Amino acid sequence: MARVPRNFRLLEELEKGEKGIGDGSCSYGLEDSDDILMSHWNGTIIGPGHTVHENRIYSLKIYCGDSYPDRPPTIAFLSRVNLPFVQVDGKVDPNKLSVLANWSRNSSIETILVEIRREMASFNNRKLPQPPEGSVY
Amino acid sequence: MSLPKRIIKETERLVNDPAPGISAVPHDDNLRYFDVAITGPEGSPFEGGIFKLELFLPEEYPMSPPKVRFLTKIYHPNIDKLGRICLDILKEKWSPALQIRTVLLSVQALLSSPNPDDPLATDVAKHYKEDEKGAQNVSREWTRQYAS
């Protein structure tokens, strides 16, 4: 199989993100629309229903380095959240989130956001006490 | 990973018999991925500039077109802020009879003849339509600033 280089891969992801993915509960885009290296991204997750996260909107920062997608991006929450894989400064611990710990080239910004949202709704996390809505790191 | 014969032949010709003002060199670790340089055509606002691009041949090539993008910032109505190019042969007018060489020659030709009626960068196209001289001056300035 042809190995899609970083920049063309990120262009594909950008185009997909611009069109909107799934039911709109996760979205992402470039932080700066003329970032020619496409390194800095914003992500948004709408908290899953029937959990403590319901109706909350979480903002995240995503950084895709030079070796993306061979290496995973780094992810940090801007909105405060209490989850076992999020450190006190908002950074997502790559060892504690399986999509990052078991990173593959087939994973993407989208699959990360979708997995984080799924984790919010998991049995262990859905009732964790949360910081005040709207607070940021 | 085996490379289709067609790509090998095209690459040999690109390297051994390059088109004037165009170079395309495959990456050692990905022979479908090329570093491209195109010199700005004489008489265009891009004259004197050397524009870097990247080109990738997807798995489906030549049934699907190559993917091409400018890495050098350029003020042109058919090229957007991320270097994406609006060119019919890269989309619906692609034919497997075309080659990397023809694509890059078409990109070079696009620099000589911007087409503000089919814009990708709408603000630049508007500028080109309303004040062509002024817009060309910006293109020249960007060429000096970013492409030389």
* pLDDT tens-digit series, residues B72-107: 999 999 999 999 999 999 999 999 999 999 999 999
Based on its alpha-carbon atoms, the radius of gyration of chain A, rounded to whole angstroms, reads 15
Q: Min CA distance, B73 vs chain A (Å)?
A: 8
- Which residues of chain A make contact with B27, given a CB cutoff of 8 A? 5
Q: Which two tokens stand for residue B129?
A: 């339509």
Give the DSSP H/E element, type plus range, for residue B7.
helix B5-16
- When divided into structural domains, chain A yields a total of 1
Active site residues of B: 86
C-alpha to C-alpha distance for B12 and B34, rounded to whole angstroms = 13
B46 contacts B40 by C-beta, under 8 angstroms: yes
Closest CA to B82 of A71, A45, A66, A13: A13
Q: How many Å apart are CA B73 and CA B82, to the nearest integer?
A: 8
Q: Read off the pLDDT of residues A31-43 as tens digits, 9 standing for 90 and up.
A: 999 999 999 999 9
Residue A66 belongs to what domain range?
6-121
Contact A75, A64 (CB under 8 A): no
Report yes or no on A133 lying in a domain: no
> Quick check: B53 and B107 in contact, CB under 8 A?
yes
Q: Would residue A24 be called left, alpha or beta, if left means φ above 0 and alpha means ψ between -120 and 50 degrees?
A: left
Domain boundaries, chain B: 5-146
Residue A71 inside a domain? The answer is yes
A55: β partners: none
Q: Which residue of B has its CA nearest to A35?
A: B82
CATH number at residue A88: 3.10.110.10
CB contact under 8 A, A36 and B83: yes
Task: Give this prediction's pTM.
Answer: 0.93
Burial A48-75 (b: 16+ CB within 10 A, else e): beebbbeebebebbbebeeebbeebbeb
For the domain spanning B5-146, the CATH number is: 3.10.110.10
Residues of B in contact with A6 (CB under 8 A): none
Q: Is residue A40 part of a domain?
A: yes
Measured between beta carbons, the chain A residues lying within 8 angstroms of B54 are 5, 7-8
Q: Is residue A59 included in any domain, yes or no? A: yes
Q: What is the radius of gyration, based on Cα positions, of chain B?
A: 15
Asked whether residue A126 is assigned to any structural domain, the reply reads no
pLDDT tens per residue across span A15-69: 998 887 778 899 999 999 999 999 999 999 999 999 999 999 999 999 999 999 9
Q: Is residue A127 part of a domain?
A: no
The residue type found at A33 is S
Shortest distance, CA A25 to any CA of chain B (angstroms):
26
> Which ipTM score applies to this complex?
0.93
Beta bridge partners of B23: B37
pLDDT one digit per residue (tens) for chain B, 148 residues: 589 999 999 999 999 999 999 999 999 999 999 999 999 999 999 999 999 999 999 999 999 999 999 999 999 999 999 999 999 999 999 999 999 999 999 999 999 999 988 888 889 999 999 999 999 999 999 999 999 8
pLDDT in tens, A73-123: 999 999 999 999 999 999 999 999 999 999 999 999 999 999 999 999 999
